[in-house]
A and B are shown apart, each in its own frame.
Chain A
Amino acid sequence: MNRSLALKRLCWKEYRQLLPLIVMLAAIGLIMQLLFLLSDSPSEQIETHHLVLVGLPGLFAAGVGALLVGQERDTRTLFWMASLPILRKDIIYVKFLAGVVGLLAVWMISFLLYLVSYGLSNGRFVFRTEPDVWFSFLYSVFLLVVGFATAWSVRSTFVGLLALVGIAMAYTVASNVFLAPLTEDIYSTVAMILCSSFAVWFGWGAAQRALAPMAPPRLNLRAFEGSSFFDRSIVDRRRIQSPWSALVWQFAVQNRAMLIGLASLFRCH
Chain B
Amino acid sequence: MFFTIHENNGIAIYEQIVRQVTFAIAEETFKVGQMLPSVRALSVQLAINPNTVARAYQELQVDGVLETLRGRGLVVCIGAIKRCKEIRRSMIAESLKVTLTEALHGGLEADEIREIVQKQLNKLDGNVATISSSGEVK
Query: In their complex, do chains A and B touch, with some C-beta pair under 8 Å?
Result: no
Interface residue ranges, A against B (CB under 8 Å): none
Interface residue ranges, B against A (CB under 8 Å): none
